[in-house]
Amino acid sequence: MTNIYGQLIDGEWDVSGARMENINPSDISDTIGHLASATPAQVADAIAAARAAQPGWESVKLEEKKNILHAIGQELIDRCDEIGTLLSREEGKPFAEGRGETFRAGEFYQYYAAECLRQIGESAASVRPGINIEISREAIGVVGLITPWNFPIAIAAWKMGPALAYGNTVVLKPSEVTPATAHVLAEVLGKHLPKGVFNIVQGGGDVGAALSSGKIDGVSFTGSVPTGRKIAQAAIQNMARVQCEMGSKNPIVIMDNADMDIAVAQSIHGAFGASGQKCTASSRLIVHENIHDEFIEKFTKAAEAKKVGHALEEGTELGPIVSESQMNKILDYVQLAKDEGGELVTGGARLKRASEGYYLPPTIFTNTTNDMRVNREEIFGPMTCVQKVSSYEEGLERANDTEFGLAASIITTNLKQAEHYKRNAKFGSVLVNLATAGLDYHVPFGGRNSSSYGPREQGMHAKDFYTVMKTAYTNPG
C-alpha cells in the first residue's frame, strides 16, 4: 500500500485527488509515496474552514495557545530522527542536516509559543485633554502560506509559528517536490490544533495560484522571483497582504588581509552546504588578486575532499540535487559558464554512485566577471563563480552590483573594512568572517531588491506581517 499525501481540511483528510509520484533523489528506484493534488474547490473549502475557525482561535486563552505551540515544537524535537530521516530521503540533504532542520523547526514553534505571552501594546497621551489612547495588535485573519522544497519543515515553521501565535488561521500549500515531510508536519499540527485552525492543500503551482487568489487576508510566500511576482499580483486583487522571500546571488568578498583558513572554511560552507540549494548560498566569490591563486588552490582542495553520496549514508557531506530537472538546470549553467569564458577548476559533471541519483560534485569556476549570466542569475546548486578584484572598494561595488539583496559577507581582519562593509553592503543580512548562509532564528530575516517584498520574517518582527494595528480612543467622561 503506497503512502498518499492529501488534504487536511477542517480536520478531515482527503486523498481523492490526481496523483503525482514522489521519488527519492538519492535512489530513483525508491518511490516514497504519491501526492494527491487538491482541486480548486478544495482550496476554497480549506480557506472557508480557516475563516470559520479564526475567531475561536484568536480568542483562545494566551497560555493555552502557548502550550499548544510548545507541544507542537516538542513533538518535532522528540521525533527529529524519524522526521529528519524522511526529510533527507525525500529532499536529499544529508541526514545530519535533515535532522537539524526538523529540530530547528521545533525551536521555531517554541520561540513563538513564548511570543504568545509577549503581546504587549502601547499607550499614548492624546492631544485632547482627558482622552486615553491604546494601540494594540490583532490577527489579520486567514493566511495562505506557500513554501518551497529546500527547507520543507523549517520554512513552514517560521511562517506557521507567528501566524498561529498572533491568532491567525492557516492554509499551507507546501512544495509538490516534498509532500511527505509536509504530510507528517500536517499530522502533528492536526493532532494538536482545533479543527480548521490549520489546513493543508497539496499540489503544484495551480494549487498555489488558487490559494493566492482566494479569499484570504494575507499570503506569505518563499520561493523563486517569477513565482513571487505572480503571487503578489494575484493577492493584490483581493487587497490581501503579501510577504515574499525569494532568491539571491550572495557574495563573499575575500580581502588580501583575510585569515585564509576562515576564508576557505566559510566559502566551502556557504557555497556547498545543502548542495548550494539555499537562498543564502555563497554563489559569488569576489577575491582580492593578491591572494587569489593561494585561495583557489586551498578552496579547490577542500571542495574535492567533500564526500558526495546518498543522503542517508554515513559520512555524506553533499547529498544529491533534489530532482532531475534541477540537476539539468545546474548542468546547463555549467555549460553556460564555459561558453561565457569561465574556467572550470573542479566538478561540473554528474557523478555515479551505488544507487542511481542526481549527484553533482562541488563545482568551481574562476576567470568570471560580474556581468556574466552565471554571476547574475540564481543557479541553486553546488556551483560557485570566482572573480578577481584589486581593492576593497572594487569588492564592495561588485558585491552590490546585483538585482538581488539577501545576504553578503566579507572575510577581512581589517576592522575599518568590516565596519564600512556592514554599513554599505545593500543586503538584508551582512556578515563578517562568516558565510552568507547559516543565520539565527530569533532575529529578522529578509532581503532587498528582488530578494524580498513586504515585511521581514522571523523573530519578534514577524508580527509586522501577521498582525494589524488598532488605535482605540476612550473618553472616560
Cβ 404 to ligand NAD, closest distance in Å?
A: 9
Residue 384 in contact with ligand NAD, rule: CB under 6 A? no
In the residue annotation, 279 being an active-site residue is answered as: yes
- Decide: is 227 part of the binding site for ligand NAD (CB under 6 A): yes
Stretch 299-358 residues interacting with ligand NAD (CB under 6 A): none
- CB-nearer residue toward ligand NAD: 108 or 295: 108
Q: In terms of CB distance, is 204 or 459 closer to ligand NAD?
A: 204
CB-based contact 170:46 (threshold 8 Å): no
Q: Which of 401, 399, 396, 398 lies closest to 417 in space, CA to CA?
A: 396
196: left (phi over 0), alpha (psi -120 to 50) or beta: left
Residue of 90, 97, 107, 245 marked active site: 245
Q: Which residue's Cβ lies closest to ligand NAD?
A: 208
* Binding flag, residue 25, ligand NAD (CB under 6 A): no
Burial of 397 (0-12, 13-18, 19+ CB in 10 A): middle
* Among the listed residues 378, 399, 421, 430, the single contact to ligand NAD using CB under 6 A: 378
Q: Which stretch binds ligand NAD (CB under 6 A): 86-94, 191-199, 243-251, 391-399?
A: 243-251
Options 49-57, 218-226, 327-335, 462-470: segment touching ligand NAD (CB under 6 A): 218-226
Phi, psi of 352 (to 5 degrees): -100, 140
CB 400 → ligand NAD: shortest distance, Å?
A: 18
Using CA atoms, how far residue 355 sits from 113, 146, 180, 314, 359, in Å, is: 42, 32, 21, 15, 10
Residue 465: which of 227, 152, 140 has the closest Cα?
140
Only one of the segments 40-48, 135-143, 173-181, 293-301 lies at the binding site for ligand NAD (rule: CB under 6 A); that segment is 173-181
Closest CA to 277 of 63, 93, 468: 93
Which of 54, 168, 212, 267: binder of ligand NAD (CB under 6 A)? 212
Check if 385 is active-site.
no
Q: Which of 39, 442, 13, 443 is nearest to 189 (CA)?
A: 13
Nearer to ligand NAD, 54 or 175 (CB): 175
Which residues ranging from 140 to 159 are in contact with ligand NAD (CB under 6 A)? Answer: 146-151
Q: How far apart are CA 135 and CA 121, in angstroms?
A: 6
Min dist. Cβ of residue 53 to ligand NAD (A): 23
For residue 167, the minimal CB distance to ligand NAD (Å) is: 24
Q: Is 110 a binder of ligand NAD (CB under 6 A)? A: no
Contacts with ligand NAD, residue ranges (CB under 6 A) = 146-151, 173, 175-176, 204-205, 208-209, 212, 222-224, 227, 230-231, 245-247, 279, 378, 380, 406
Which residues participate in catalysis according to the annotation?
Answer: 245, 279
